[in-house]
Structures are given as C-alpha cells and as structure tokens.
Structure 1
Amino acid sequence: MDEVRRRLAAGQYAQAARACEDVEIDGAEASQNEALWEVQIACKLIAGDTDGARFSWKRMPDRFRQGPQVQALGKVLETLWRRDFAAFHREKGGHPWCQTLQPLMAALSQEVHAQIEAEIQQAYSTIALQDLCALLAVSREEGIQVVERNGWTLDGDFAHVVEAPAQAEAALPENAIHSLTKYVVHLDSSK
C-alpha cells in the first residue's frame, strides 16, 4: 500500500490504480482491504478508464460490495458508464465520502468537468447557458466563468462555442523532404 499512497500523493492516479492491481495480484492484502478496491476504482475513473473500473468492480469480493462507500462508488461508476453527467453530480454530491475518498472524488469531479467542457467544445457551436450549467452542475456565475475560461462568447443566455485551434501538423524538415524526393526518384528510375 505504500506505493499506492506515494502515487496518490503525487497525483499519479493511473499509476496508483496499477499499484492497487499489483497489491491485488499479491493477494493477501487485497482480500482484507476494502479501501484498496475503493481507491483502485476511483483512480481508474479519474484516469478515464471506465472499462477498467467496471472490471475492478466485478473482481471485487462480494463481501466488500455491501459497504456504504463502495455502494456509493458503484453508483458513481454506473453514472459515468452510462455517461449520465447530471446523475454523476447527484451521486457524487449525495454521499459523505470517507477521508481516503474525499480528495479522489474532488479530482474525479475536476476530470469529469474537463471532459464535459471538451465534449461541449467538439459537439456544440451554441449552447444555452442553462444547459451548460446543468451539464456541469454549477451556478450561473460559475457557468459564465467556464465560458470565459474557454474563450467562448456569451450572447444573452447562449454561449457561442469557439472550436479549439487545431494542432498544426509538424512540417517535415528540409532534409527529410530531400531524402524522400531522392527515394521516389530512385523508385521511378528502377522501373
């Protein structure tokens, strides 16, 4: 568990999930430690590995699934699996999380917000501010801050989403173009 704690302290959630799996594979500690399973599932969700979190849930010993923390975490997992973000916010906020899970749920909330904002940027050209606030479970003022932070424009009650600038394709260096030209000329001359 020391490796798990170290990874959590560093904010390395994907690596913390892998460290939990290593403890799980070792066997003895995983069969006695409900918190290990909670941390593993939460870290996988933070890392965006919903499938992995589901598989961890299915591998978890049945006796651990009865605890209130695990039940609440299972509901959060289900909402993210169904991509029901409104239900995610209800489930996440509707449960008093233990000291171990509080920072993980805060990190998960930030990741889900970032994911929702990215999806809005891809899928919408205009979105009602009320709908944006509902998706993010934030107040109108916080919704306006999201609009400003993303460089979108606000026109009354609608946010006009500005598409993120596309990453410019890396230009080939001149020597690579020269080598490629020589290769094509060689192929043409060998016919």
Structure 2
Amino acid sequence: MDFSPLTKALASKSYQNIADICDNLLLQAAAEGVAYEDDWPYSIHLLAHIYVDDINSARFLWKSIPSAIKESQPEVVAVWKIGQKLWVRDYGGVHEAFRGFDWSQEVQCLVAAFSELYTKRMFHLLLSAYSTISIQDTALFLGMSEDDATNYVLQQGWVVDPASRMLTVKKQTIVTEQKLDATKLQRLTEYVFHLEH
C-alpha cells in the first residue's frame, strides 16, 4: 500500500486533509482487494476524523476496526478515548485524554495540533456562550491550570475580578466590509432611471 499521500500531508501539517486521504486510500485498498488491516494507520485515521470535527465518521471507523487491532494497539484505544469524551461533551476529559497517553512520534504532532485547535474552539465557545464565567470553569474548558487559563483570556482582553474569581468576557467586535459590486450598482442605476422616465 502506498502511503505517500498520507506521509506528505503529515509532513506538510495539512491535518485537515488527512481524513479524506485515509478514506480514499481505504477505498482504494478495498477496491483492489489489498489486505491492509495489520498495516493500516488506524490511530492517524481515527484522529484525523476527530480533527475535522467529524465524530460520526470517527465512530463508524472505530466500529469497523477489528477487535484484534483494538487489543494489540493501545494507541488506537487512546485516540478513541478522545472521541468518546467529545461525544459526551466532557470538555475537561478531552484535555485529559490528550495528556493521558504517551503518543508515538507519528501521532504526536497530530495530537498536539488538535489539542491547540480544540483549545481555540473551546475559547470561542466560551466567548459566544458567556458574559461572565468562573476561573475554575474556564480552566476546565481550556484544559489549563487556573493561572494559565487566566493569563490566556487576559491576553484576549477579558477582565478578572480577583475577589470573586470571576472573568468578564470581552466580546470581540466583528468587522465586516460591505463591498460594492459594480454590476449591482449599474442595475440599480438603470432601474432608478427607468422609474424616473
């Protein structure tokens, strides 16, 4: 089996493409009747679906992995633990699952990238859902110590009340530019001209 597209994607850190690459390689192997189960990078494939926030495909892949692979490759089980925590929305548990395994070199970069992405997703979730939140809850969502979480959100303009240990969320202003389309302006001009005459 030629894994060079996967190797290139990992090397270039094109993590958002890995799930599709693995899916296509799997379909190719099945179409050609190639035995792949023992050599298949299940950990990477599973984590790639989790990375692109496709937990349903990750669940389907998990169910299709042979029991012998699950028993002989603890890293595959560790990746699925991340998926399970995401499925039940155990936000703090996701971070624990990241840290709870000694990842292989080839999976470590993808786990680190997803951990960073997940922290950003959680920050944006907090940003949209809360006007105030406790330091303790913020730390849980972001998977950080309370001091690190406080410093992280303070850098984003949030305000801390040390007495109550509460954070005030600073909503980010969304700047949108309205671009004028010349063809629309032309049609509007013609329409107004038509009405006036």
Aligned identity (percent) is 27
In structure 2, the gaps of 5 or more residues are none
Deviation at 1:85, TM superposition (A): 1.0
Q: Within 1, Cα distance between the matches of 2:35 and 2:115?
A: 29
Aligned to 2:6: 4
Match among 115, 124, 127 for residue 118 of structure 1:
124
Aligned to 1:50: 55
Return the TM-score normalized by structure 2: 0.84
Aligned to 2:140: 134
Q: Within 2, Cα distance between the matches of 1:29 and 1:5?
A: 20
- 1:11-160 aligned at under 5 Å gives the runs 11-27=13-29, 28=34, 30-34=36-40, 36-66=41-71, 67-156=73-162, 157-160=165-168
Deviation at 1:169, TM superposition (A): 4.8
Deviation at 1:7, TM superposition (A): 0.5
Q: Within 2, Cα distance between the matches of 1:56 and 1:183?
A: 56
Check the 8 A contact 1:133/1:143 in 2, yes or no.
yes
The DSSP-based 3-state class of the residue aligned with 2:105 is coil
Deviation at 1:14, TM superposition (A): 2.1
Deviation at 1:173, TM superposition (A): 3.7
Q: Does 1:165 align with 2:173?
A: yes
Q: Within 1, Cα distance between the matches of 2:61 and 2:189?
A: 52
- After superposition, the CA RMSD in angstroms is 2.2
The DSSP-based 3-state class of the residue aligned with 1:65 is helix
Paired letter, 1:8: L
Deviation at 1:3, TM superposition (A): 0.8
Check the 8 A contact 1:147/1:154 in 2, yes or no.
no
4+ residue segments displaced more than 3 Å: 183-186
Q: Deviations over 1:154-190 (max 9, x none)?
A: 222221111121241524346523413534776x79x
Paired letter, 1:41: L
In structure 1, the gaps of 5 or more residues are none
Q: Does 1:177 align with 2:179?
A: no
Paired letter, 1:21: D
Q: Within 2, Cα distance between the matches of 1:76 and 1:13?
A: 17
Q: Within 2, Cα distance between the matches of 1:145 and 1:33?
A: 44
Q: Within 2, Cα distance between the matches of 1:110 and 1:137?
A: 10
Q: Within 1, Cα distance between the matches of 2:158 and 2:186?
A: 42
